[in-house]
Structure 1
Amino acid sequence: MDLDELLSFQPLGKHSLEERDESRPSKTSKAEGNGLSDQEKLLLLQNIDDDDEEPLEVLEAGGVKRMLLSLEKKVLRNQEMRIKFPDLPEKFMESELELNDELQKLHIIATVPEYYPVLVETRVLVTLLGLLGHDNTDISLTVVDLLQELTDVDTLSENQEEAEGLVDALLVEQVIALLVTNLERLDERSKEEGEGVYNSLSILENMCEVRNNEVMLAAGEQGLLVWLLKRVRIRSYDPNKLYASEILAIMLQGHETNQRLLGEKDGIDVLLQALAYYKRRDPGGLDEIELMENLFDCLCAALMFSPNRERFLKGEGLQLMILMLKEKKMSGNSALKVLNYSLSTPKGADNCNKFVEVYGLRSLFPCFMKTPKKSKKVGTSKSEHEEHVCSIVAALFQNVTTGAGRERLIGKFLERDHEKVERLVELHFSYSRRLKEVSVGGEDEEDVYLARLDAGLYTLQMVDYVLAELCLCEKGSIRERVVTLLGVHGESLEAIQQVLREYAVSLGDADTTKTLNQLADKLLP
């Protein structure tokens, strides 16, 4: 079709333009080429295109205030109709639909964060939060969706001042408590309400990007932690359970107040029950693997608060972790990490003695003797595995100091012609070589130390601590074997002594530093 045909084209059918308006034939005949050049025809087409385009709406402060005022009016109107006709939904439904439409219009404000202060100053934010408790959950879900968009992490990161003002105002109005109240009434079997749960958690995560400590503290105080525990307790997997586990892990990481609260709310038992599901079965996919790992991370973070270790002991957490090691399922690697957190430092003494008492050594030392290949699905590396195992063995030597438990621990290193001693020396040389490869030329002292930690300095310190304890025990054959194996590679006990002294210097605990220096002195009097 050429340009003349395009300009003269009329759609076929009984309602053609000619039938609708026969009084303007001259215009049509002119467009068919009578007196118009090609340039004029092109200009005419351009004008037609321009007429079809609607001008973009530019949002100004005055427009924002009018929108907010309109919202306030719709809210009041809906309240009046509900009070006047409480038992006649058909009477107040129209006002509810108008209110919902007005809320939808506010999404445009999320594209212009410079107007966030208007939301705060006009107290419309308070009105929005009040609607989270609206009798109609559709209204509350619309507000949740709006808040999620207003707190979008990309928007907040590009407008720091406005973001801080908005989040601070939300915290002052106790948005988390209001969200939790709304979460408790939502039925996730409904697709819309399930999405509302997800968006509610997204609001919390977005706010953390701006005010992490304040949001995490408020989340514990205002009931979110308790709700999250209820949510992860549900056995079956779903995306909201995964998201809940992520938020719970964030709340516990480095926040002692929330770690304490979790213990007080029987959270240790809840986490153990949730993890027990994986003692004899592997997760069904990558997302469920992430869920399982999040639950293990929650448990590890909770064990950083010492009183939770006692709850872990009473809840038979040790037995569950040992069973996971025996079953050799995907959960085994993370079970080692939990054992490391529960047994380490002198605060783990009760757990260490119980671990030996319930025959945990039988499950631990196969992991010590052979590092499993890294699973494609689980991210535990060879170095992480060896670090956890060696740290556990070191904690046992530190905390199980007398009696039958100590004898059983040392006896493990006498079995099969000292094979576990040979494994220790093998690890010593492996990590020593790694540390020698770390470049130290012209770098900052702290950077060098961090690089050495990445190369396995901590694992080497744990290995050499255990070697020193074994060399000083009453079983002389162990010391002889260690000296012989070191000598084969041209080293002596001085290498172990040097590692111990460096380890003692790096610690901030005076008692532990003194103990390590005494151990190093006894190793080579």
Structure 2
Amino acid sequence: MHVLATNPELYGTLIEAQAIPLFITLLSHENSDIVGATLNLLQELTDVDILNESVEGAEQLVRALLDARIVECIVASFATLNETVKDDADALHNGLTVFENILDFHPAFSQDCVQHGLFQWLLKRATQRGTFDGNKMYASEMLALLLQTSDAAREQLTAKVDGMELLLRALASYKRHDPTSLDEREHMENLFDGLCSSLLHPPNRKKFLDGEGLQLMNLMLRERKQSRESALKVLDHATTGPEGKENCANGKVDKFIQRQNKENTTPADKGDGDKMREYLDRLDGGLYTLQNVTLLLSDICVQLNSARQRAIKLFSMKVRQEKLSAHFIPILSEYAENLGETADEERRRIDTFIARLNAAEKAERKQ
């Protein structure tokens, strides 16, 4: 059989000999060694270089595999493999390679991957908690590929399970810790790429906001780890187009105004002269939330001009004061004044926000 992998012009004969149904039967065998050998053979038969040597034979093979529902069969075979055993882990890797090979030769195969269970399997495997390994990276690579190339994949991300939550949870582990290897760094970037692509589907942007995706990206920007640049890219995707700008800025501006109004109408207890107690009471009364929303909005607005312009427009419509500095700087200043003695880095961050907000408005006045 392995000899046929070097002679794709004979694939038609292979199909006539009813080899494909035999492969399907072997994939469901209870012996994982037989399953592994079958996946290895399929990986060789679908090697991209071999397929391109004989397009006619390759098309016959791919068509026969699709007719035999190869996606469902291989995904089902994964359940029989124990990835803690090297041979089984290699077999699973070969199975993923079969999918990648067919996708490369026949891009429309992405529909089958989404419809017949591979996409959901990749989503769960790529975001699975626990030890990082090569198959986890391979799963994230293929997940990102499907999200980049398939509208159906982007739509299904949150259809059966909350895939947005899974992606954000997996990425949250890189909030304060860098990947430990180049392969894990690639895995992290795959997850970010998949997240960016998923945001091309407008309903996923709402899921992103509801899942506190903006807050997570903001924390990554603050921590300055390897995830920082990719987090900024996600924010750019989240605010691209009318839906993104509306969802991102509108929700946060509304929340800002709501909390600011509550803060302004909360009576201050000036009788005891205890300013710290008064400040803590205000934090409990809504100031804490107002500060967090202000920090998030400030960070986004100084990083992304599109978000800044949207925020200006919203403030102008809702409270007739479009200057962001008038809204943000008093809150940022009070927040900085009440930071602890060891929070020098956070103070510098706030000073940067204030300086950049003022600089942007000064530049606009000159125009």
TM-score by length of 2: 0.76
Q: Distance in 1 between matches of 2:125 and 2:83?
A: 11
What is the aligned length?
303
Q: Residue 151 in 1 paired to residue 46 in 2?
A: yes
**Residue 344 of structure 1 contacts residue 395 of structure 1 at CA under 8 Å; is this kept in 2?**
no
C-alpha offsets along residues 121-172 of structure 1, whole Å, 9 cap, x if unaligned? 2221111122100121111111000000000111112222211221111111
Trace 1:227-376 onto structure 2 (pairs within 5 A).
227-235=121-129, 236-264=131-159, 265-348=161-244, 349-356=246-253, 357=256, 358-359=293-294, 360-364=296-300, 368=303
Specify which of 212, 216, 232 is matched with residue 107 of structure 2.
Answer: 212
C-alpha offsets along residues 245-285 of structure 1, whole Å, 9 cap, x if unaligned? 01001111131111111111211000000000000011112
Question: Structure 2: which 5+ runs fail to align?
Answer: 257-292, 330-350
Hey, what does 2:116 align to over in structure 1?
222
C-alpha offsets along residues 170-195 of structure 1, whole Å, 9 cap, x if unaligned? 11111010011011221100111100
In the TM superposition, residue 238 of structure 1 has moved relative to its aligned partner by: 0.7
Q: Residue 169 in 1 paired to residue 58 in 2?
A: no
Q: Distance in 1 between matches of 2:90 and 2:214?
A: 37
Q: Distance in 1 between matches of 2:320 and 2:63?
A: 54
SS in 2 for 1:185: coil
Hey, what does 2:317 align to over in structure 1?
402
Instruction: Give the counterpart letter for 2:21 in structure 1.
Output: V
Per the alignment, do residues 400 and 253 of structure 1 end up closer, same or farther by CA in structure 2, a change over 3 Å counting?
farther
Per the alignment, do residues 479 and 331 of structure 1 end up closer, same or farther by CA in structure 2, a change over 3 Å counting?
closer
Question: Structure 1: which 5+ runs fail to align?
Answer: 1-105, 369-388, 425-469, 471-476, 483-525
**Residue 29 of structure 2 contacts residue 35 of structure 2 at CA under 8 Å; is this kept in 1?**
yes
Q: Distance in 2 between matches of 1:398 and 1:288?
A: 41
**Residue 188 of structure 1 contacts residue 194 of structure 1 at CA under 8 Å; is this kept in 2?**
yes
SS in 2 for 1:209: helix
Q: Distance in 1 between matches of 2:359 and 2:61?
A: 57
**Residue 214 of structure 2 contacts residue 235 of structure 2 at CA under 8 Å; is this kept in 1?**
yes
SS in 2 for 1:402: helix
Instruction: Kindly name which structure, 1 or 2, has the bigger radius of gyration based on alpha carbons.
Output: 1
In the TM superposition, residue 407 of structure 1 has moved relative to its aligned partner by: 3.8
Per the alignment, do residues 207 and 478 of structure 1 end up closer, same or farther by CA in structure 2, a change over 3 Å counting?
closer
Q: Distance in 2 between matches of 1:162 and 1:178?
A: 22
In the TM superposition, residue 394 of structure 1 has moved relative to its aligned partner by: 4.6
Q: Distance in 1 between matches of 2:26 and 2:200?
A: 39
The higher-RCO structure (CA 8 Å, 6+ apart) is: 2
**Residue 164 of structure 2 contacts residue 207 of structure 2 at CA under 8 Å; is this kept in 1?**
yes
Instruction: Give the counterpart letter for 1:350 in structure 2.
Output: N
TM-score by length of 1: 0.54
Give me the identity figure in percent. Answer: 40
C-alpha offsets along residues 406-456 of structure 1, whole Å, 9 cap, x if unaligned? 74636489999x9648966xxxxxxxxxxxxxxxxxxxxxxxxxxxxxxxx
Give the alignment's Cα RMSD to 1 decimal: 2.6
Q: Distance in 2 between matches of 1:201 and 1:226?
A: 14
C-alpha offsets along residues 306-348 of structure 1, whole Å, 9 cap, x if unaligned? 1111111111111111111111111111111111111222212
Per the alignment, do residues 411 and 231 of structure 1 end up closer, same or farther by CA in structure 2, a change over 3 Å counting?
same
**Residue 312 of structure 2 contacts residue 323 of structure 2 at CA under 8 Å; is this kept in 1?**
no
C-alpha offsets along residues 218-257 of structure 1, whole Å, 9 cap, x if unaligned? 0111111111121112233111010000100111113111
Instruction: Give the counterpart letter for 2:177 in structure 1.
Output: R
Hey, what does 2:366 align to over in structure 1?
481
Instruction: Give the counterpart letter for 1:341 in structure 2.
Output: H
